[in-house]
Amino acid sequence: LKIFNLTGAKIGMHMDCNKVKGVDCSTGSLGHGLSLAVGFALAGRVNGIDYMNYVLTGDGELNEGSNWEAAMSAAQFKLSNVVVFADNNKCMIDGRVDDEMKVEPLDKKFEAFGFNVFRVDGHNMKELNNAIEAAIKNHQDGGDKPTAIIMDTFKGAGVDFMQDDYKWHYGSLDDEKLAKAYASLDKYLAERCARVEKEA
Ligand SMILES: Cc1ncc(C[n+]2csc(CCOP(=O)(O)OP(=O)(O)O)c2C)c(N)n1
């Protein structure tokens, strides 16, 4: 990790499956995760092995048409063991998703593509957990639809000077900014813990 992303390092910004053990596919080019999951799910069916397939996509990533081909396939092949999480943080690499290429309404889109859909606060672990458990139950009960979990989130959540600002897609921190980021995360964590206790 100390030479992360430097020339010659095994771990770069985009993972290379020929260099890093445990990484099954090289990624970095957006829009392939859902297709891979459909392939993994079909392979499980052919090999008679039952497992869930979880995919994380970004809302910006959903601009890629390949996702929607994969979504059609997941529904067509009744892959109830495929669960796609859409990290709907409304930001991309160099702009807001609404300004670059709108993807909303994501819940209605996935529903129209034949998915069971849950829309949750992506920063609320309880809501997320309930949606995941419902997806697993649907599969175990013989449901025939894949699941989409639309997570409403903020990019850079918890770091006040980064939150919801696409310009922090990239960036590095000097010591002063690092200290500010830690302080902000501590405050965020305390607020979250208080909320969880209140909800319990
Ligand atoms: C096919 C492809 N096109 C463009 C890029 C460049 N790119 C890297 S990240 C990114 C934005 C992705 O936005 P989103 O999926 O919303 O990710 P997040 O905001 O959660 O980081 C883009 C366009 C890429 N990696 N692959």
Residues (pLDDT < 50) of the chain are none
- pLDDT score recorded for residue 199: 81
Write the CATH number for 137: 3.40.50.970
**In contact, 120 and 127? CB cutoff 8 Å:** yes
pLDDT of residue 50: 96
The reply to whether 194 falls in a domain is no
Q: Judge if the beta carbon of residue 30 lies within 6 A of ligand 1.
A: yes
Q: What is the pLDDT of residue 94?
A: 94
Reduced to 3 DSSP states, what percent helix, strand and coil does the chain have, rounded to the nearest 5?
45, 15, 45
Ligand 1 contacts CB of residue 74 (under 6 A): no
- Shared-domain flag, residues 3 and 21: yes
Give the number of domains in the chain. 2
What pLDDT is attached to residue 128? 97
- Atom of ligand 1 at shortest range from CA of 29: 26
Q: Kindly report the CA angle at 56 between 122 and 84, in degrees rounded to 5?
A: 85
Ligand 1 center–CA 194 separation, angstroms: 34
Residues 164/88, Cβ–Cβ less than 8 Å: no
- The verdict on 119 and 136 lying in the same domain is yes
Both 16 and 40 in one domain: the answer is no
Residue 172 lies in a domain: no
* Binding site membership of 28 for ligand 1 (Cβ less than 6 Å): yes
pLDDT tens-place string over residues 146-191: 999 999 999 999 999 999 999 999 888 999 999 999 999 999 999 9
Residue nearest to atom 10 of ligand 1 (CA): 93
Are 59 and 125 members of one domain? yes
pLDDT on residue 154: 97
Q: Pick the atom of ligand 1 nearest to 31's CA.
A: 1
Provide the domain limits for residue 51. 33-153
- What pLDDT shows up at residue 195? 87
The answer to whether residue 186 sits within a structural domain is: no
* CB atoms inside a 10 Å sphere around CB 109: 18
